[in-house]
Structure 1
Amino acid sequence: MRSTPSVRNLAASFWTSKMVTTVDRLTISASSRPVLTSLCAATVLGIAWTVNDFFAWKAFGTGGTPPTWYGYLRMSKFRFGHLLAGPDLLDPSPHATTGPSYLDAPFPARAGGRARIMPRIMPQRQVPEPIDHETRTRLLGLVHRLANEFPDLLESKPSHTEGRSTDGLYVLAEVPTLNAEAREDKLLAREVAHAHPADNSLHVWLSGPDARKVMEAGWGQRFPLPFVRSGWTMVYAPRNDNEMDVVERIVKAGIAWVAGVEL
């Protein structure tokens, strides 16, 4: 039986449609390969960066956050939140200009300007700089030396704010002149200072005017978490004994603020 023209036309249309569909699929498949390749490459690089950042975070101390993937994710939430809407930690204006101050003027500026900060807020660390061996020994022994010299005023014990990963300098609870803020604060809990062995920086609790002086001289910056007392200040690492003298002055100013006693 011979096909009528209409049947032949229908058959031709069917196969033409199939061919167009096949060509379209091949075209889409070919054009999508670079996109898929780029997505795969970005995923691999993202995973590699995250793993490397996780181990770098652990190596520099975790600022009291558990050194786990859960702790890292928690820190990352603060980190990205701060990047999006965090305050300028180099701005000293939130600190008071009047009130108790224990740093004598003039306060020396830090040679070479501020230290470079590691790209995360928890833990708050700087990029390590060269430091004299004697200076580092003196820095890491400062907490114990002051506690031993003034046993009726100070003690050294694992730092609560650093997850007990380094020793902190604390004012004794029974000191009658203890700052009321220190007596009430459950987070800092009478801690004056601690040093970070990974980068040789410190955290020190200062009065508002003294925190301002330290920042204006390029010696430190504010702590990033808003629920921590504003005087809790990151102090950059000393590099030689002259700079260690400055750091010791800052720590003693912190003792005067928290303990109410000038050494």
Structure 2
Amino acid sequence: MDSVASTLAAQYHKVIDPLNARPRQAAVTTTAVALTLSLAWVLKDFHAWRSFGTGGTPPTWAGYWRMTKIRLNRMLLFGKDDLCDPSPLSSSGPQYLDPAAIPTREGPRPAIMARTMPQRQVPYKAGTADAGVEERVRTMMASLAAKHPSILDLRPSKTEGGSTDAIYAKPALETLNDKARDNKLLGTEIAHAHPSDGSLHVWLSEADAKIVVEKGWGMRFPLKFIDKGWAMVYAPRTMAEADVVERIVRAGIAWVSGVEV
């Protein structure tokens, strides 16, 4: 009987053990594939993050992880916060943009990159913008600084980690906004353009930022601890749109420097 039992047991394990091993092998294979795909996505996302500018964060893996945590926290805590919604912004206080003179931007809002920082739009396809528009945006900060040297400085953008030029209000201005004197994150920075997509960040009064969002020219900044007037402005596609964008930047100059230009 013992020999029969041993034989039956051996035959049982010969049949059952491979069956038990198959789910384990499948699980290992599935896990390996998932890890490979995840690693590939992370590598692609990391390089895309660096190529679009890092929002002032060092372009390292540590910087990427810091921005990824902000991205995840925003998805979990503020997932329903529509940055195109102007309602969190107040209409009271100083205003340098005339709502009647700011047309509603034509067409749909541009697609936005799927990350919190840096805040960027998906670049327009080549040839979408009229001739000369991209160059005008690229040189807009230098041009304004050259026209108004008594109130503006042109320096690498602190908020963009020095990756692009920005205009700053001169710190010694008697008319300088008190918020700029006290704000350690923005300082006296007024505006900068992003070479990767042609969009801009501009520090506006809250009332002006609301006009920009309401009229479809931009969106609110995603980080709650930054002044509410710090807004993203979409890349212009025509010279007429570039005129509006420059008007918005000039409103930022007036707000921060206290001098209308």
Following TM superposition, by how much is the alpha carbon of 1:110 offset from its aligned partner in structure 2, in angstroms?
Answer: 1.3
Following TM superposition, by how much is the alpha carbon of 1:247 offset from its aligned partner in structure 2, in angstroms?
Answer: 0.2
Residue 96 of structure 1 corresponds to: 90
Kindly indicate whether the alpha-carbon contact (under 8 Å) linking 2:97 and 2:248 is maintained by their aligned counterparts in 1.
yes
Structure 1 segments unaligned to the other structure (5+ residues): 1-7
Following TM superposition, by how much is the alpha carbon of 1:131 offset from its aligned partner in structure 2, in angstroms?
Answer: 2.1
What is the DSSP-based 3-state SS (H/G/I as helix, E as strand, rest coil) of the residue aligned with 1:170?
A: strand
Whether 1:127 aligns to 2:122 is yes
| Alignment map for 1:10-25 (pairs within 5 Å) | 10-25=2-17
What is the DSSP-based 3-state SS (H/G/I as helix, E as strand, rest coil) of the residue aligned with 2:132?
A: helix
Following TM superposition, by how much is the alpha carbon of 1:159 offset from its aligned partner in structure 2, in angstroms?
Answer: 0.4
Q: Which amino acid aligns with 1:251?
A: V
Kindly indicate whether the alpha-carbon contact (under 8 Å) linking 2:99 and 2:211 is maintained by their aligned counterparts in 1.
no
Residue 191 of structure 1 corresponds to: 189
Kindly indicate whether the alpha-carbon contact (under 8 Å) linking 2:217 and 2:233 is maintained by their aligned counterparts in 1.
yes
Residue 35 of structure 2 corresponds to: 43
Farther off after superposition, 160-169 or 140-149: 140-149
Residue 246 of structure 2 corresponds to: 248
Residue 3 of structure 1 corresponds to: none
Match of 1:109 among 95, 104, 112: 104
Following TM superposition, by how much is the alpha carbon of 1:112 offset from its aligned partner in structure 2, in angstroms?
Answer: 0.8
Following TM superposition, by how much is the alpha carbon of 1:108 offset from its aligned partner in structure 2, in angstroms?
Answer: 1.0
Whether 1:77 aligns to 2:69 is yes
Give the TM-score normalised by structure 1: 0.93
Kindly indicate whether the alpha-carbon contact (under 8 Å) linking 2:154 and 2:167 is maintained by their aligned counterparts in 1.
yes
Bigger Rg, structure 1 or 2 = 1
Kindly indicate whether the alpha-carbon contact (under 8 Å) linking 2:71 and 2:117 is maintained by their aligned counterparts in 1.
yes
Residue 23 of structure 2 corresponds to: 31
Residue 5 of structure 1 corresponds to: none
What is the DSSP-based 3-state SS (H/G/I as helix, E as strand, rest coil) of the residue aligned with 1:141?
A: helix
Per-residue displacement from partner, 1:76-98 (whole Å, max 9, x unpaired)? Answer: 11111111222321221111111
Farther off after superposition, 125-134 or 204-213: 125-134
Q: Distance in 2 between matches of 1:206 and 1:21?
A: 75
Farther off after superposition, 66-75 or 29-38: 29-38
Residue 4 of structure 1 corresponds to: none
Q: Percent identity?
A: 49
Following TM superposition, by how much is the alpha carbon of 1:55 offset from its aligned partner in structure 2, in angstroms?
Answer: 0.7
Q: Distance in 1 between matches of 2:258 and 2:85?
A: 27
What is the DSSP-based 3-state SS (H/G/I as helix, E as strand, rest coil) of the residue aligned with 2:246?
A: helix
Following TM superposition, by how much is the alpha carbon of 1:30 offset from its aligned partner in structure 2, in angstroms?
Answer: 2.1
Q: Distance in 1 between matches of 2:6 and 2:94?
A: 90
What is the DSSP-based 3-state SS (H/G/I as helix, E as strand, rest coil) of the residue aligned with 1:155?
A: strand
Number of residue pairs aligned between Structure 1 and Structure 2:
255
Following TM superposition, by how much is the alpha carbon of 1:230 offset from its aligned partner in structure 2, in angstroms?
Answer: 1.1
What is the DSSP-based 3-state SS (H/G/I as helix, E as strand, rest coil) of the residue aligned with 2:84?
A: coil
Following TM superposition, by how much is the alpha carbon of 1:127 offset from its aligned partner in structure 2, in angstroms?
Answer: 0.5
Farther off after superposition, 36-45 or 149-158: 36-45
Per-residue displacement from partner, 1:54-107 (whole Å, max 9, x unpaired)? Answer: 111111111111101111111111111111222321221111111111111222
Q: Distance in 1 between matches of 2:72 and 2:131?
A: 36
Q: Which amino acid aligns with 1:97?
A: S
Following TM superposition, by how much is the alpha carbon of 1:157 offset from its aligned partner in structure 2, in angstroms?
Answer: 0.2
Q: Distance in 2 between matches of 1:218 and 1:105?
A: 12
Following TM superposition, by how much is the alpha carbon of 1:119 offset from its aligned partner in structure 2, in angstroms?
Answer: 0.6
Kindly indicate whether the alpha-carbon contact (under 8 Å) linking 2:191 and 2:201 is maintained by their aligned counterparts in 1.
yes
Structure 2 segments unaligned to the other structure (5+ residues): none
Following TM superposition, by how much is the alpha carbon of 1:219 offset from its aligned partner in structure 2, in angstroms?
Answer: 0.9
Residue 228 of structure 2 corresponds to: 230
Q: Distance in 2 between matches of 1:187 and 1:85?
A: 23
Residue 55 of structure 1 corresponds to: 47
